[in-house]
Amino acid sequence: MAIIANRKRRIGRWVLIIVLIVITFIYLIPFMYIINTAFKPWTGIKVYPPTVIFKPSIGSFIRIFTSRTVYPPGEVPTEEEISGMKWYERIVYKETNEEVVRLGDFPRRYLNSIIICSISTLITVILGTIAAYGFSRFNVRGKDDLLFFILSTRMLPPVVVVIPVFLMFRFLGLTDTHIGLILLYIAFNVSFAVWVLKGFIDEIPTEYEEAAMVDGYTRFQVFRKIVVPQATTGIAATAVFCFIFSWNEYAFAFLLSRKIAQTVPAWLPYQMGVLGYDWGAAAAGTFIFLLPAMVFTIILRKHLVRGITFGAIRK
Amino acid sequence: MASVRLASLTKIFGQVTAIDNIDLEIDDREFFVLLGPTGAGKTTTLRLVAGLEKPDQGEVYLDNVSVNDVSPALRDVAFVFQYYTLYPHYTVRQNLEFPLKPKFRRLSKSEIDAKVSEVAKILHIESLLERETVNLSGGEMQRVAIGRAIVRTPKVFLMDEPLSNLDAKLREEMRRELTRLHLDLGFTFFYVTHDQIEAMTMGDRIAVLNQGKILQIGTPDKIYNSPENVFVAKFVGSPTINLLEASIETNTLVVGKKTLVCTISETQRNSLKKYSKRELILGIRPEDIEVSREKKKADSFKCTVYFTQSMGVEDILNLRIDDIVLRAVVPPKLLTGIGDTVYASINMKRSHLFDPKTNKRL
């Protein structure tokens, strides 16, 4: 009997592993497709059906980072000129017959994304933790109404409020500024942060704080030394979600920024060149764009996993 | 060290009066136990002393100074919670250091270290100092929690059912440990429990609390041997006291339809004059019923053994006389079995009589 049960369990485990591999594969298909396209040489990008095996090229990455112009007919560079080219200029010339003019807009946009998203995430998490603590621990007058009000800001799709926000931004001179988008993302994320963090802080027994207060600490010291360390899991999870939301946000970034504060999602679709839409460059840009969110999630994954199992607190 | 005084203290939560006009005085260096069932208001009382709750009425005095408006941090009391509340993100050492670290205490690193090692030595937890608190056993957590309380020599030591999470064996050990600590350190202890054995074994004095009211304050001996009312009589003592409805007829106390007739002494008779012909409650502790196989005394009554519980040192017998069931504690050598006929007599000198209307002792 034991042997059969054992065998059943072993088979069960194998089935589970196979199912997980399949699911992971399905989830990764879009991502793999992007990587695949990003590394294709210019001639291979639009081949149908798409190829999986090809000689990889970093041409697309060079194109997303540069501004280029096509050599006019008759002005083809000589052999000597070609040999004098820098390595990336040569790749571009060989693939698309273009000349690199200058560094493109991508690094600038990328920096915008990083500045706007990290600052807004940081402020959101700080505000969210303090507000959630207040709602969790004190009898705030009209607490339920306030919490509902906070939640209600997320009840409509953001696009609905685009016009009033646009008018407000124009009036205040916030259009196409970093601070404008930072404020906007904070406004959208704070409600989410307050609700998620309130759940986490509710789970921390108040006795810890009371013990610390009796031990000689003020309410704020207790918050910093006892509550925040115990809520790290929740704070990390919230930070990841807020960061990903603002990192991926398109509609507002598209409407409220043109140049100075434009983020990657708003800029990335404009990869139209003389040679048509450059899918390779778009894929390369997307791939680089995805990296920080991935890294951020991987760094905090320990906390994310613990965040899911939270509630199993030992009393 | 300090004395504690509660003066007409009242605390109301919504519709519920948790603490109802309590007056209490705890002497310096006393081991004072607040005993009561769940929901009696014991923890609330302790939290009022610590400053974790604000009273709706009345005052809390520490060393005769009102501390109503003093924050918990500055009251200089220590609190041991029912769940040990060791800070989970700190090691044992960090937990012990924590109460010493607030800036206003002005302690240097070496002073803190010295105090921590001293406390660790007292509680035999030196080997645990660098451990994570989550990996400790219940008893170890308990020691660390107590250590965190005594490390800064507080004015009063407040303990909220600290032993209720331990198993019976460990509880007994910790009872001894706490008594020893109290003797060694000479702190004022204010100890809350629902366990009457803890109260009886550890307390210098006990206050019995029920539904926010103090029913009796006294030494364990006083509480046990002359309970002021039915609740105290019933709550303290294991097995529970026998409470029977009785009435006085001439020189005897009659239970039921003459099921039990007990002679009462002259002094008792005099004090009970005005209660003659009235209903009373007769309380007899199980150990005050003498059980024998043969009829030894004139007022012994015949009864059957309903069931028995053996405790090793003694047996608890449930005896049946008509429709009355009595609990009696007997030495195990009596060797009775279920259904046996035995004779029981009540030691009336040690009986307790209560007024059924007021539940008060007569």
* Burial of B258: CB neighbours in 10 Å, binned 0-12, 13-18, 19+: exposed
Smallest Cβ distance to B52: which of A210, A218, A229? A210
Largest Cα–Cα distance of chain B, in whole Å? Answer: 78
Q: Is the pLDDT of residue B155 over 70?
A: yes
From chain B, the residues in CB contact with A211 under 8 A are: 79, 81, 85, 87, 148
Q: Is the pLDDT of residue B134 over 90?
A: no
The verdict on a CB contact (< 8 Å) between A229 and B77 is no
How many Å is the Cα radius of gyration of chain A?
26
Smallest Cβ distance to B87: which of A208, A210, A214? A208
Same domain, B192 and B213: yes
Selected for mutation to probe chain A from B70, B77, B85 (highest A CB count within 10 Å) is B85
Provide mean pLDDT across the span A24-50.
89
Same domain, B189 and B312: no
Same domain, B162 and B294: no
From chain A, the residues in CB contact with B50 under 8 A are: 210, 214
Contact (Cβ atoms closer than 8 angstroms) between residue B114 and residue A236: no
Name the domain boundary from B169, B203, B235: B235
What is the model's pLDDT at position B221? 95
- Where residue B286 sits, what CATH number does that domain have? 2.40.50.140
Q: What is the pLDDT of residues A60-95, one digit of tens each?
A: 999 899 888 888 877 778 888 888 888 888 888 888
What is the model's pLDDT at position A308? 52
What is the model's pLDDT at position A127? 96
Look-up: residue for tokens 């209660």? B275
Instruction: Report the percent of chain B where pLDDT is more than 70.
Output: 100
Question: Strand, helix or coil at A252?
Answer: helix
Provide mean pLDDT across the span A114-122.
96
Q: Is the pLDDT of residue A309 over 70?
A: no
Question: Strand, helix or coil at B210?
Answer: strand
From chain A, the residues in CB contact with B79 under 8 A are: 210-211, 214
Classify residue B111: in a domain, yes or no: yes
Q: What is the pLDDT of residues A153-175, one digit of tens each?
A: 888 887 788 889 999 999 999 99
**Minimum distance, in Å, between the CA of residue A162 and any CA atom of chain B:** 44
Cα-Cα-Cα-Cα torsion A95, A97, A98, A99, nearest 10 degrees, comes to 100
What is the model's pLDDT at position A95? 85
Same domain, B199 and B343: no
Contact (Cβ atoms closer than 8 angstroms) between residue B303 and residue B320: yes
Q: Is the pLDDT of residue A307 over 60?
A: no
**Minimum distance, in Å, between the CA of residue B6 and any CA atom of chain A:** 19
Q: What is the pLDDT of residues B32-70, one digit of tens each?
A: 999 999 989 999 999 999 999 999 999 999 999 999 999
Q: What share of chain A is helix, strand, coil (3-state, %, to 5)?
A: 70, 5, 25
Instruction: Please state the domain count of chain B.
Output: 2
> How many A-B residue pairs are in contact by the CB < 8 A criterion?
59
Q: Which residue of A has its CA nearest to B156?
A: A214
Provide mean pLDDT across the span B100-116.
91
Q: How long, in residues, is chain B?
A: 362
Provide mean pLDDT across the span B193-203.
92
Same domain, B35 and B64: yes
Asked which of A178-192, B11-25, B292-306 is least confident by mean pLDDT, the reply is B292-306
- Provide the 10 A C-beta neighbour count for residue B107: 17
What is the model's pLDDT at position B336? 74
Asked if B168 has any chain A CB less than 8 Å from its own CB, the reply is no
Same domain, B223 and B318: no
Q: Is the pLDDT of residue B291 over 50?
A: yes
Contact (Cβ atoms closer than 8 angstroms) between residue B137 and residue B173: no
What is the model's pLDDT at position A150? 86
- DSSP letters along A145-182, please? HHHHHHHHTTSS-GGGGHHHHHHHHHHHT-TT-HHHHH
Asked if B256 has any chain A CB less than 8 Å from its own CB, the reply is no
pLDDT higher at B187 or A273: B187
From chain A, the residues in CB contact with B164 under 8 A are: none
What is the model's pLDDT at position B157? 92
Asked if B60 has any chain A CB less than 8 Å from its own CB, the reply is no
Classify residue B69: in a domain, yes or no: yes
What is the model's pLDDT at position A314? 41
Contact (Cβ atoms closer than 8 angstroms) between residue B31 and residue B182: yes
Q: What is the pLDDT of residues B244-288, one digit of tens each?
A: 888 888 778 888 777 778 877 777 777 777 777 778 899 999 999
Asked which of A186-190, B190-194, B232-236, B354-358 is least confident by mean pLDDT, the reply is B354-358
Smallest Cβ distance to A214: which of B50, B83, B134? B50
- Where residue B194 sits, what CATH number does that domain have? 3.40.50.300
Name the domain boundary from B235, B270, B304: B235
Asked which of A136-145, B26-35, B292-301 is least confident by mean pLDDT, the reply is B292-301
The verdict on a CB contact (< 8 Å) between B148 and A215 is yes
From chain A, the residues in CB contact with B85 under 8 A are: 205, 207-208, 210-211
Classify residue B360: in a domain, yes or no: no
Classify residue B23: in a domain, yes or no: yes
- Provide the 10 A C-beta neighbour count for residue A260: 11
**Minimum distance, in Å, between the CA of residue B134 and any CA atom of chain A:** 9
Q: Which residues of A touch B (CB under 8 A)?
A: 205, 207-208, 210-218, 221, 226, 229-230, 314-315
The verdict on a CB contact (< 8 Å) between A229 and B71 is no
Name the domain boundary from B210, B235, B260: B235
* Burial of A272: CB neighbours in 10 Å, binned 0-12, 13-18, 19+: exposed
Q: Is the pLDDT of residue B186 over 70?
A: yes
From chain B, the residues in CB contact with A216 under 8 A are: 73-74, 99, 102, 104-105, 152
Q: Is the pLDDT of residue B232 over 90?
A: yes
| A1 — pLDDT class (breaks 50, 70, 90) | low
Classify residue B172: in a domain, yes or no: yes
The verdict on a CB contact (< 8 Å) between B72 and A214 is yes
Provide mean pLDDT across the span A246-255.
91
CA distance B232 to B228: 7
Lateral strand order in the sheet of B289-292: B289-292, B341-346, B301-310, B315-321, B324-330
Q: For all residues of chain B together, what is the average pLDDT? A: 89
Same domain, B257 and B121: no
CA distance B98 to B87: 9
Asked if B81 has any chain A CB less than 8 Å from its own CB, the reply is yes
Classify residue B148: in a domain, yes or no: yes
Q: What is the pLDDT of residues A259-288, one digit of tens each?
A: 899 999 999 888 777 677 888 899 999 999
Write out the two tokens for B74. 């500055």
Look-up: residue for tokens 């604000």? B54
Q: Which residue of B has its CA nearest to A215?
A: B99
What is the model's pLDDT at position A313? 39
Same domain, B193 and B331: no
Same domain, B183 and B266: no
Q: What is the pLDDT of residues A34-45, one digit of tens each?
A: 999 999 988 888
Q: Is the pLDDT of residue B335 over 80?
A: no
Q: Is the pLDDT of residue B12 over 90?
A: yes
Same domain, B270 and B208: no
Same domain, B31 and B165: yes
What is the model's pLDDT at position A312? 40
Same domain, B75 and B148: yes
Domain containing B259: what range? 242-354
Q: Which residue of A has its CA nearest to B149?
A: A215
The verdict on a CB contact (< 8 Å) between B85 and A230 is no
Smallest Cβ distance to A211: which of B74, B81, B105? B81
Smallest Cβ distance to B73: which of A205, A218, A229? A218
Q: For all residues of chain A together, what is the average pLDDT? A: 87
Classify residue B362: in a domain, yes or no: no
Smallest Cβ distance to A217: which of B51, B81, B102? B102
Selected for mutation to probe chain A from B62, B87, B115 (highest A CB count within 10 Å) is B87
Q: Is the pLDDT of residue A176 over 50?
A: yes
Would the ipTM clear 0.85, i.e. be above it?
no
Q: Which residue of A has its CA nearest to B82?
A: A207
